[in-house]
Chains A and B, each alone.
Chain A
Amino acid sequence: MKKFAAILAAASILVGATACSNSEKAGKSSSNKDPITLAVWGSSPSESKALEATVASYEKESGKDVKIEVIQDNFQDALTSRFAAKNAPDVFYLESYAAPKFIKSGVLADLSKDIKNQDDFYQPLLDSFKDKGGKLYAAPKDYSTLALYVNKGLLEKAGYKVEDIPADWEGLVKFSKELQTKLSKDQAAMIFDNTLARNLSSLIASGLNPVTDKGKADFTSNQKAIDYMKSLVDGQKAGYLKNPKIDMGIDSAGAAFGTNKAVMMIEGNWVLSALKQEYPDVKYDVLPAPTVNGKKETMTFNVGYAVAKDTDNKKGAVDFVNYMTGKGQKQWSEMSGTLPTRQSVTKEMKIDQDPVLSAHANGAAYGTVWSSGVNLPTISQAFDNQLLAAFNGDKSVEKAMKDAEKEANDEIARQE
């Protein structure tokens, strides 16, 4: 028995020790061979396939190895913990929304001189990855913009034509109100989204920039912007604007639209794959997002490739990013159905002549990129949280915005 115990103790220590040395060896050998690690979030099957194919083309051309790591959920959180653990991937997807935080923390490699042919990118997309000094920290890989989708079948059934739809927001709201009277109770004239992410460009067009030059929140200084938000609140109250999740119990706007529960929606081009694959019978037109206060506006959601500062393979990483956002961009965009960030590729793919995609692609030049400094997450959270109070009728829009402004600015002060 004693002997057994001694052997067991020795064995357990030995196993522990060898396990450690094994993992060390594995770590070393992999860093010697140097595959480029690429962290991405899980996305649609077509995007995953497109990524694998484009990466394979790169591997074939360069003879290098790229290891794709898919992080299925809460990408930002997982990436943050990877950085905290000093175990960051070489290259990773970066939303422009999160970019300021990463840039400020100083964990990204400066790519200002490494990315080729920067003038060819749509400049708003490129600018969202720059710091105040103009240094570039990521290369845009694709983007989405918002556009107005119209369900032609429902519209014509209600007795209207696509040409009847006004191009400005005020007209569109009035039109929705009229249209709603011809629909059944569970149908929506238009689907809306009450978050700042979807409405920032409309507020800016109204003359209010919710993020001041000093990075503070401002929701109250402009009456036109308040009126814009009121139009959303009134619309939801009267029932001609509906939130798919809260008012209709449908997971997404695309699903509500595809199942003929909504006539119009202002959505990004990410809905297209669902519309094509899951709801092929729905006939729709895509128009530019409505003008607000007489100005063209849309939101742009931009994703790029960033390189970790601590990577031991910056040269390989930069080479890879240049391929993916340069030579390989056409392959990626064509297969994934995303919009190319380079103007030359947009022309080459004839996207500006495409009846569906052109409304989206034209927005890239004037759209507001969803990114505005390190404090935007705090500011948008306060906005979303308080605007709901206005939708519930607990607070007037003015009061809700005043409270949101205070909530955001107090929190920003605490973070400094």
Chain B
Amino acid sequence: MGSKRLQNIQGYSFLLPAMLVILVFTLIPIAYAFFMMFFKVDLLSGARTFIGLNNFAKLLDDPKFWASCRNTFRYVLFVVPIQTIVAMVLAALLNSKVKFNRAFLTIMFIPTLTSSSAMTLIFMWLFNNNGVMVNLIDQVFGVRIAFLNNPDLALSVIMMMNIFSTVPHFMTVFLSGLQDIPESLYEAASLDGANAFRKFMNVTVPQLMPITFYVVTMGLVGCFQIFDQAFIISDGTGGPQNSTLTFSLYIYQLAFNSNDMGRATALAFILGAIIFIVTYIVNKWLKADEVNG
């Protein structure tokens, strides 16, 4: 009994530093945010007045909230499936015995290593009205497309950029998963007369399910929280015409431009709830727990 208690103490003492950090920097702020979202808070002076659920009512009445909602969901619905599928297919291709696959892997990994802000600046340079892409399209098709100040296209530039930079990361995750699939499954499939495509669909994809769940979840969380690219591309405004206004960017604007921490925490709570619910649904749908990985 005594030795067990001592072992417990030992365990907790090892955990203590990490637990303290989590407590101070994660749990207490979350609890505080729960508290703040029922108040009108002046961040500068710290003055606050209780207004109940008024912050939520204000948000529902706010066209910018709905714009950020629309943008974020549009972003997630495009980026997550595309990045997952592309990463999986690329991983499968690299896992087959093509020549120089290591070299390809290295080159393709570079975008992930680049910081997202540097990446955004590069994309802004490519896509501005006098940029390489615009001039290229002009020469080939004879139309000038204003990517960055056209509200229908500005978000697409960020989407492309995010897919470009996250695919390599998820690709390596898939690659490691692929190497765990027993060769015997493929042999059995070959004996049954499956071609390469059938093998991919009926062996690789189901076997990768736990990895896919991880990739989709991380993709969802990352996409729902998209901030830096939207911030840089629009200079923090979320423009043109709110087309790059995402949840996180609007939280930032509410807290620091509108000096309204209450509404910002209310929106953060909504974002947290959305991520939780969507992840839960995806978990049920992909049946991540049941697959024998």
Contacts and interface: CB of A to CB of B under 8 A. Distances in A.
Q: Do A and B come from one complex?
A: yes
Interface of A: 2, 5-6, 8-9, 12, 16, 76-77, 80-81, 83-84, 86, 101-102, 105-107, 186, 245-249, 377-378, 381, 384-386, 388-389, 391-392, 394, 407, 410-411, 414-415
A245 B148 CA distance: 10
A414 B58 contact: yes
A388 B239 contact: yes
Contacts of A86: 46
16 contacts: A2-B3, A5-B9, A105-B44, A105-B45, A107-B45, A186-B130, A248-B128, A248-B129, A249-B130, A381-B257, A384-B239, A388-B149, A392-B150, A394-B151, A407-B63, A411-B62
Interface stretch (B10-18, B170-178, B185-193, B282-290): B10-18
A391 B256 CA distance: 28
Interface in B204-261: 237-242, 253, 256-260
Nearest to B43: A84
B293 interface: no
Contact of A247 (B3, B130, B237, B240): B130
A12 B253 CA distance: 41
Given A384-B239, A414-B62, A392 B16 contact: no
Please tell me the size bucket of the interface on B: 35 or more
Contacts of A107: 44-45
B43 A385 contact: no
Contacts of B256: 76-77, 80
Contact of B241 (A106, A389, A414): A389
B62 A385 contact: no
Contacts of B69: none
A284 B279 CA distance: 60
Contacts of A81: 43
Contact of B258 (A248, A388, A415): A415
A385 B253 CA distance: 14
Given A6-B6, A411-B64, 5 more contacts: A2-B3, A80-B44, A83-B46, A105-B259, A392-B240
A37 B63 CA distance: 42
A407 B237 CA distance: 14
Most chain B beta-carbon contacts within 10 A, residue among A106, A107, A411: A411
Contacts of A101: 44, 259
A83 to B, nearest CB: 5
B94 interface: no
Given A247-B130, A249-B131, A8 B13 contact: yes
Interface string B62-92: 1110000000000000000000000000000
A246 B151 contact: no
Contacts of B47: 105
A391 B43 CA distance: 35
Contacts of B271: none
B128 A245 contact: yes
Given A5-B9, A246-B149, A12 B17 contact: yes
The 7 closest A-B pairs by CB, nearest first: A5-B10, A9-B13, A105-B44, A249-B130, A249-B128, A105-B45, A388-B240
B238 to A, nearest CB: 7
A80 B260 CA distance: 12
Given A6-B9, A249-B131, A394 B146 contact: no
A318 B217 CA distance: 55
A415 B260 contact: yes
Given A247-B129, A249-B130, A105 B42 contact: yes
Nearest to B2: A2
A389 B151 contact: yes
B44 A392 contact: no
A378 B131 contact: no
B229 to A, nearest CB: 16
A392 B10 CA distance: 65
A106 B42 CA distance: 10
B180 interface: no
B183 interface: no
B125 interface: yes
A414 B257 CA distance: 14
A385 B242 contact: yes
B13 A106 contact: no
A392 B129 CA distance: 12
Contacts of B62: 410-411, 414
A197 to B, nearest CB: 12
A414 to B, nearest CB: 5
Contacts of A415: 258, 260
Contacts of A106: 45
A384 B131 contact: no
Nearest to B62: A414
A74 to B, nearest CB: 8
B199 to A, nearest CB: 47
B137 to A, nearest CB: 14
A83 B45 CA distance: 7
A392 B151 contact: yes
B134 to A, nearest CB: 9
Nearest to A250: B130
Contact of A385 (B6, B7, B240): B240
Contacts of A76: 256
Given A2-B3, A245-B128, A249-B129, A381 B237 contact: yes
A384 B237 CA distance: 9
Which residue, A86, A102, A245, has most C-beta atoms of chain B within 10 A?
A245
Contacts of B150: 392
B258 A378 contact: yes
Given A5-B10, A80-B256, A388-B239, A246 B42 contact: no
Contacts of A394: 151, 241
Contacts of B3: 2
B239 A411 contact: no
A384 B245 CA distance: 14
Contacts of B61: 414
Contacts of B238: 385
A377 B148 CA distance: 23
Contacts of B240: 385, 388-389, 392
A171 B215 CA distance: 60
A377 B241 contact: no
B16 A12 contact: yes
Contacts of A388: 149, 239-241
